Amino acid sequence: MLSVLFWNVMGRRIEALCANLVHRHDVDILVLAECANPAAVVRALNRTPGGRVFHWHRPGTANRLAVFSRFPATEFVEVESAQRYTVHALTTTRDEFLLVSVHSMSGLRVRVLEQTEELRRLARRVAELEDTRGHTRTMLIGDLNADPYDPRMLDAVGLHAQRLRQIAEQGSRRVAGIEYRYLFNPMWRFLGVQPPEPQGTYYRRKSLHDTRFWHLFDQALLRPALLPYFADQDVVILRDDGTTSFQKTDETPDKKVASDHFPILIKLSYPGV
């Protein structure tokens, strides 16, 4: 089982909470956005005597992500890094696996047009890397600062991330003579659920007519090639580490204790891990 955990930690020094989550859920790869002190995180991850050794994979390009794994750099290889994404190839498995970690632009700071173009560029670059490496066994995970139903998530020239397996499993579709690959977005299953189920990963209340309150900005997306190894219930939103709650009494994220985002965890029954 391959387990990947993502959390936007909002710059807070909550490495102990991160370590608790990793050990409780037997996480293989930890991706953090807005991580203020990666060195402290890797120390916390390796504090348990006799536990698995974790490595901090420093990006070749300074960016907004910190990636840690139980795999050494010779087996979890950086393919490419940019300001807002990093691509790693896991080579220990029978078939190489690509992980794209992302922290997209916030709509609080830039226009929607900028966000849309950024995700379109990312989608093109991921497809180019897949062509170069000769496979589409790819997971994309991170804070996309977009909900699953936003046009930039569904657009063919964007991430093209579909709600239904049956559609994603078709692999791709042709638009105006150009073939666009699908991603499958399992985070759709959290939309429309009622408490006590998680309502999203991020909450923001605004005094505007168009206020959605809960958002699913933090997402894990899969290419169809990985769907045989994934069950829908194997992606979860985490609201505690077994000891400390990450939410307030109204069930919104408690940024005084943890972060303004909830972490997400996804597992794949990937061969060779």
DSSP per residue over 46-90, as a string?
T-STT----EEE--SS--SEEEEESS-TTTEEEEEE-SSEEEEEE
Per-residue model confidence as pLDDT tens digits over 120-134: 999 999 999 999 999
- Give residues with Cβ within 8 angstroms of 31, minimum separation 6: 4, 5, 6, 7, 65, 66, 67, 68, 99, 101, 141, 142
What pLDDT, on a 0 to 100 scale, did the predictor assign at position 207? 63
Summarize the confidence of residues 180-186 as an average pLDDT.
Answer: 98
Residue 206 has pLDDT above 90, yes or no: no
CB 137 within 8 A of CB 223: yes
Per-residue model confidence as pLDDT tens digits over 14-69: 999 999 999 999 999 999 999 999 999 999 999 976 678 999 998 877 678 999 99
Residue 148's SS3 state is coil
Separation of alpha carbons 124 and 116, rounded Å = 13
Separation of alpha carbons 259 and 273, rounded Å = 30
What pLDDT, on a 0 to 100 scale, did the predictor assign at position 62? 65
What pLDDT, on a 0 to 100 scale, did the predictor assign at position 267? 98
Separation of alpha carbons 203 and 23, rounded Å = 27
What pLDDT, on a 0 to 100 scale, did the predictor assign at position 209? 60
Summarize the confidence of residues 187-205 as an average pLDDT.
Answer: 92
The one-letter code for the residue type at 216 is L
Instruction: Place 171 in a pLDDT band, splitting at 50, 70 and 90.
Output: very high
Residue 240's SS3 state is strand
Residue 77 has pLDDT above 70, yes or no: yes
Domains assigned to the chain: 2-268 (3.60.10.10)
Across the chain, mean pLDDT equals: 93
The one-letter code for the residue type at 73 is A
Helix, strand, coil in percent for the chain, rounding step 5: 25, 30, 50
pTM of the model: 0.95
Separation of alpha carbons 268 and 95, rounded Å = 14
Per-residue model confidence as pLDDT tens digits over 90-116: 998 789 999 999 999 887 666 788 889
Per-residue model confidence as pLDDT tens digits over 224-263: 999 999 999 999 999 999 999 999 999 999 999 999 999 9
